[in-house]
Each structure stands twice: as structure tokens, then as C-alpha cells.
Structure 1
Amino acid sequence: MKHSLTESFTGYQQSRTLHLMVLLVITATYLFSLLGNVANAGMTGPASQSTEFPHFPSIQTNVAFWEKVYTHYSTSEAVIHDQYDLSRIYAVIPIMDYLKPGAGQANKPLLDAEQKKYAAILTSLAQGIPPITQEERRVATIMKGLRQSQLVKASESIRVQIGQKERFREGVMRSRTHLPEIKKIFRSYNLPEELAYLPHVESSFNPDARSKVGASGLWQFTKSTGKEYLRIDGTIDERHDPILASHAAAKFLKRNHSVLGSWPLALTAYNYGTAGMARAKRDKGSYEKIFQEYDQGYFKFASRNFYSEFLAALNSAKRLEQSLFTPVQTRPSVTTIRLSSQVSIDSIKRHFKVDGKTIQTLNPTIEQSVLDGKKPLPRGYQLKLPATGQNSPVQVVTTESKKRSS
């Protein structure tokens, strides 16, 4: 049967329109897929997860909590929360910025009072006393459906977390000085370069960080663990050299992984100890069971949350790296000399015409006793000086020796 010209043209138009519509749908689907990939590039989610660093369902709430601590809550805010269920947040209150001197002492009375207030509300609810005030009713809504024993436990499990937003942001900016080289170090040990982000949890990438328990440096090694990999004595403390300490951290983490068999366990052992995690693994078997059930010795809040904090720091830092203008900080050009004998810091200053501050900046491993002139720099120490210093280390030793003999 023949078609008229009009019918043929109409059929052609309909066919062409259909093909155009199909093409538009395919193109739109492709574009949305690209946009989705870009949007999810730094987000926590199955698509961005590494098989070596799994986001277990049991820790998702904890990872989300720490991401908010690192990127949402200010250092002028305190989060009052349950230490076992991190989705249970009772209040976020304003405080004196904890980065300011004396903030800890100034904030303590307020934070103690807040903890006692919510403990009293929860105790009252556990006793079956109907909530009266608006705040009591709000907390009762949060705790709806819990048994008396659970309410009692909650009243004993109130914790305060200070926000880290500004501190974490500064750490990301600071990390640009050493992070590229630290990644190379970890790759050289056949380790995942994601581990290079762990100092965000430990020290905010501050090589001078010191803890109340004696941990020190970028990687917060204690003296006992640090001495297994680094020189730590009365004159030199290599924990404060970011590069030397990163080699030590790579060796320590590699050992943890070889003993424990997974990165969630190896990273938790960085906080809790290798032997302790080996016992926990024997007792519970898997990381998830340890996270959910293990409660022996010193395995408390910090150890239980350490892997979650690492994942949160990794996710948060990578997102901030994309949004912050953080140019790589170039380190000063230096020349390194190996001392052939003990030398006082004053002789170094005079001979190379360099001030004490410069020596300290370029040689963060030198202990204060040496900088104060109480002890000499040891023989064999590799001293870094501004690249303009061209004198021989032998001359320094000779000058020092002559002065002692005269």
C-alpha cells in the first residue's frame, strides 16, 4: 500500500523525534552519572570505601559523629553525648574557645555542671518520675522506649567532646608541608598511602605536639615504643623529626598489620597496643565483635573509637583538601653535616654564624638541654644548617678541642 507524501513525512518526523528523545535520555543519564561521581568524590559511602579500610555498618554512627567533630563543631562548642551511642546527643553548648590559654580550667565548672544536669534527668527518668520541664521532656523523647536499666547506664555514660573544626582545618593546612613525602614513605614500605593521614588524629600534623602521658611528635610515639625505632635520649629525640618519625610509624604499622592481619585491627593497636589487640582478637575474633563487645583492661572509649576517628579524619581531610586553598609549603634549603666529635651549640653558632632559633627550627630533634648549652651535640649527629653554611664540620670540632685544651 502506498503512503502519501504527507503520511511519509509525518512518519519520518515521529521517527526522528523518537530518536532524538532516546538520545537526550542517554545523554542526560550519562551527565547525571558524571555529576554523581563528582559529588561523591570525597563523601563517605560505599562507592568511596577502600576494601583495606572498610566502613563496617556497626561503626557508621561513630564515623559520622567524628566527621562532625572535625568539620562542624567549633572549638568554642562542647557536645554532651552518650559515650556508647554517639547518635545520642543531649546538648551542644557554647564554651570559651579551648585553643585559648586557660580555657580548660575556665570551662571545667560549666562542663561538670552540664554532665551532672543530664545525669540527674536520666536518673529521674529511670526512677519513673514524669518529666516536668521542657528540657526533661526533650530528653525523655530522646530516650523513649528504653528500659530502666538502660536509663541507669545512660546516666553513668555521659561524656563531653570539644569541637575540633578550627584545629582540624589548621592541621589540613599544616599537613601540606610533609604529607606528599610521607605518602611516598608509606608507598616505599608497600603500605596504603591513606595511613599518612593518621597524624590528623594524633597531632593535627603538629611535629611539636606533646601529650599529658608523654607521647610526642607528629605520630605521638611514647618513649618506650619510640625507642624501638628512633633515637631518644638526653640530647636527641627523633620523634620530633616528621620524616624520621614517619619511617618509624610505617615500620610500626607494618608490624601491627603482620601480627593482626587487618588495618582496622592494626590501627586500633596503634592506640591500644599490639599485644592488647592480639588478646582481643583471640577473645572475639573480628574487629566488629571487638568494637561491639570487648571491654577488657584499658580498651575504653579512645581505643574503641580510634579506627572510626581515622576514617572520619581521612574523609574530612580529603574533602577539605579539595575546598581549601592550601599551597604546598616549601621547606628551607639546607646543607647537612655529620659531626666527627662532640660539639657545643655555642661553637656551632659562632662557627657558622647562625642563631639558636634557626638551629632549633632546622633540627627539631635536638633536646632543650643541648640548646641551653648544658650538653654537647653528640658525635655522628647529622646537623642541618642553612644552605649558605659551607664550613667543614672537622673545623668546628678542631676549634672546640683547641679551646678545651688551652
Structure 2
Amino acid sequence: MDIHSSMNLQIRNLTFYDRTHSPLPIHTTNLILTKQDNTLIECRLTFQVNWQLYRRIDTEALFNLKPELRGSLSKGDFQPEVNIEIEATLQPELLSSLTENITTAEQTAAYLQNLSQNHPLLSTENWFALHVKQQQESGETGYRTFWAYLPPHAISQENISQEQISAAMVNFFKDWADTNLSEINQDVMAESINEMTKSFSEIADTNLEETQDAISEIMAEITNVFEELAETTNEVITQFDRNINMLEEIILFFTKDDWSFTKIQGESVLQTAFQGKNGKWNCYAKVREEQQQFVFYSICPINAPENKRLAIAEFITRANYGTIIGNFELDYTDGEIRYKTSIDVEGSNLTFPLIKQLVYTNVTMMDEYLPGIVAAIDGDVEPKDAIRSIEQREANDNADSSRS
């Protein structure tokens, strides 16, 4: 059974150096050294920097903060007046240089503080940022890098599996897409995968004390993962693009057709209202991304009370019979009545004419049947009589239209 242990220590006034040997002073540093069966397997560093120093780290991609391997900010941008925390892990190749100096926390701290500026332990090139975050009044914001999903020390282990690599890549891109949907595309993913390939090669070549055949085998596994991911990349991106295009097309329709609407935050849903001849009610336009469907609802302005729900159920059953596009629905729990029209556009596109047909068919039906619903609820009219009245009025209107 593997035995893990860790040593936690604080170091003040530690100075790192970038690739041009320019100093990067860090005032308070927390260091965690992790052992497995008395062998040092990871060294993690957590420190805070001010806004100016973070901008330098960000711009120069220090601590391997390469844009291709970063996730997206979780809750808004960083604020200039608050310190930013960075957690990084050491290049596994350099762990051996720490081994003989970690008997005690004090010895480790003294060792690091007395290193020369050319020592690789103080080079930002040899540290991989895992998390970058900031505490704000509204909560924590920040992002994770790919190395938070698959730390370099895991790659250097002999038993690294294709499943581990695949899971890390899938989770990284999934989390990225969840918060960065508008920016993800095939070029971006290709750049990230290329950067991963390069980093994997460097870490494997410098850390695995195995034969060249063994290294080649691991790199072959990594290549297989990339190929499998590449096969689904186009499909994933196409799916994302189609979802965005559907919602954009719906927004374009309501904008051009002069509807006032609001988008419900965090959802692919628009809320609007319609004023008909017989009343006014709320409407919802919804994109069901996974199913590639567009649904439009008219919500009846009155709910059916509990003692009228059986009558309304009969009313909408009679109303739905013979209806070609859409149908009425009744929520027996709260008495909500709505009219639904929908379309499945998988393998096709949602167009302006399709949206218009679904929307106006929907609101026309609600407007036409609303007096009957009101009569069945408030006027004690039998459902069949309410439907007959609507159908008779429709027949009269059609006759008048024919004569004119």
C-alpha cells in the first residue's frame, strides 16, 4: 500500500527569475512537499502577487501560463486592487535536487532562499501554474490550467495510462467550453493540443528513466488520445456553433419583427409577451441544445383552479383534436395552461420563416381559444359548448373572409 506524507512550510522573500534572468520577487510563499513511500513526488508552491506583477506574469506567460493551456475565468475579470493567488507545481525532473535538503522545514526554507539566481529551482520556466484565483466581494473568480487536470508529476510516473490522459483532456476542454463557448473553435483546440503534445514530450524525455522504446510507447498512447479527440472535435464544434446559431437566429427574428424580449440569464431562453384581440400573455422561446429543437410557449394568463382542472382537461383535449401544428398542455399540479409549438432541426437550420410560422401559429391559437378557456373557468360553460362557440365563430369569420 502506498504511503503519502506532506510537509507544509512558509517562505518569505523568495525571488524567481524569468527566461531573461529578470527578477520576480515574491514576498510570501507557501510550499507543500509531497512524498510517496518516502520518495518526493511533487512540490507545490502557492503565492500572491499584486495586479502589476500578475500582468507581467500573464503577458510573458511565466510559470508556463500559456494561453493555449488556460481555462476561462469562472466569475468575471480580476480586479486591480486585490492580490491574485497562483498555485504552481515544480518540474518533476528537479525534485531530486530537493531530496537531500528536506529533512526539516527550516532547512528547506534556508536552502531555497540561499540559491543563486541561475539555479533551475528559481526559474519560472520550471514551474507549472495550476490555479490562478482572486477573492472578491462577490466571491472567488479565477481559472485552472490544463496542468490542474493532469499534473506534470503524474505524466512522469511509469503507470500513466491513456485513460488518465484522455480524461484530463476531455475535462479541460469541457470546462473551457462551458464558460468560453463563444471563443472555442477548431484552431483554438488545435493550438492547445499542439502545446500539450510539446509539453508531454519534454516532460517524458526528461523524467522517465526507461528505454527509448518505453518512452515511445507512452507517446504513442498520447498520440492515440489526440487522434480520438480530433475525430470528435469537428462534431463538438459544429454542435456548439449550431446551438449559438439557433439562439442568434431566434434573437434576430424577434428583433426584426419588433418584439420586446429579454434573455433569461444562463439559459437559451427568451421571454416576451404578446397582446392579442382577447388578452395579453407571456411567451417563452427556448432552444434545446442537445436535442437541436426550438420550442415556443404561450402561457395562458389565467390558471385553472383545482375544481376546474377536469373541465379544462376536457376542453384542451377537444381543442387539440385535429390540430396540426402544436397543442395545448395542462399542468395538473398548479393549473397552468399553455400552447406549445416546436420543431426539430437536427441536420438542418432554423430559419426566419420557420420561426415565424411557429410563433404566429402559437399566439393565434392562444388568442382564438382564450375566450373559451375563460368561459370554462369563470362562466361555468361546459367544455364542449365552449369549443363549439369557438368553432362557430371561426366558421363565421372564414365565411366573411370568403365573401370579401
Q: Answer 1 or 2: which has greater strand percent.
A: 2
Q: Answer 1 or 2: which has greater helix percent.
A: 1
Bigger radius of gyration, 1 or 2?
2
With a CA cutoff of 8 Å and minimum separation of 6, indicate the structure with the bigger relative contact order: 1
TM over 0.5: no
TM, length-normalised to structure 2: 0.25
